[in-house]
């Protein structure tokens, strides 16, 4: 059940982290005023809406493919006669077993969430905050929580890889998760009309600030 709501855990931890770090970054490094800083925060937070759309569309697609390719058996034996149930839910309601191509939603979601967390916490490399600031305590707490969550996602990904789904279903789930990450953070977010990257104007090769300062 923890994995089934993986996007909710990721969403609610990234929401305050992106909001606080983006506002601080915009105000201190780009010298934006309050209004422009808030607009920058809203733009970056729209990445969470994109992530929600990716999660919703992909999981819906996985269910559609499983229903489209599946058949229902009223016993655990695949050789038993199969009744023409239209969906997996109908099959389970009648104590049947649905046999379809079940793309691993867990592999997709866990890989996508972990990569998204890694991308978003990269903002700390360009953020400078006073050591004694209360804001720093808040950001550190969110950062540690996100790192812990990413570790959980990696551990559960390994469990899924060992115990659940066929090999092809797991590989396809991972490829879709990687494609969602690459299509957003490595392609679309580089464009002007997008949520943008966590460090929009500082290339990875020329960062001048350090969070440790």
What does the pLDDT look like over 56-78, one tens digit per residue? 999 889 888 887 877 777 665 55
Establish if 109 belongs to a structural domain: yes
Q: Which of 105, 165, 169, 172 is flagged as catalytic?
A: 165
Helix residue ranges per DSSP H, 29-166: 34-69, 88-93, 105-121, 134-163
Mark whether 42 and 55 lie in a shared domain.
Answer: yes
Residues 86 and 154 in one domain: no
Question: For 71, phi and psi rounded to 5 degrees?
Answer: -135, 155
Task: Assess whether 165 carries a catalytic annotation.
Answer: yes
Q: Could you confirm whether 92 is annotated as catalytic?
A: no
Task: Return the closest-CA partner of residue 47 out of 115, 93, 139, 108.
Answer: 115
Structure tokens at 168: 């092809």
Q: Inform me whether the pLDDT recorded for 186 exceeds 70.
A: yes
- What is the pLDDT averaged over residues 114-131? 83
* Candidates 44, 88, 106, 170; catalytic one: 106
The boundaries of the domain holding residue 96 are: 70-101
Q: Which residues, in sequence order, are bridge partners of residue 71?
A: 99
63 and 122, same domain (yes or no): yes
Provide the whole-model pTM. 0.82
Total number of domains in the chain: 2
């Amino acid at each position: 059940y923890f994995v089934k709501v993986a996007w909710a855990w990721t969403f609610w931890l990234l929401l305050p982290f992106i909001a606080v770090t983006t506002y601080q970054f915009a105000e201190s490094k780009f010298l934006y005023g309050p209004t422009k800083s808030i607009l920058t925060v809203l733009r970056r937070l729209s990445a969470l809406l994109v992530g929600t759309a990716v999660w919703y569309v992909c999981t819906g697609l996985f269910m559609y493919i499983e229903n489209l390719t599946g058949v229902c058996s009223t016993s655990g034996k695949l050789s038993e006669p199969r009744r023409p149930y239209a969906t997996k839910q109908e099959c389970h309601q009648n104590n049947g077993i649905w046999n379809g191509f079940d793309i691993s939603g867990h592999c997709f979601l866990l890989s996508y969430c972990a990569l998204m967390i890694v991308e978003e916490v990269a903002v700390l490399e360009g953020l400078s905050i006073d050591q004694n600031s209360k804001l720093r305590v808040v950001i550190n707490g969110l950062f540690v929580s996100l790192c812990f969550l990413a570790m959980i996602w990696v551990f559960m990904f390994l469990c899924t890889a060992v115990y659940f789904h066929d090999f092809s279903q797991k590989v396809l789930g991972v490829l879709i998760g990687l494609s969602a990450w690459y299509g957003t953070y490595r392609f679309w977010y580089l464009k002007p009309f997008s949520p943008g990257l966590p460090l929009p104007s500082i290339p990875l090769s020329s960062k001048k600030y350090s969070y440790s300062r």
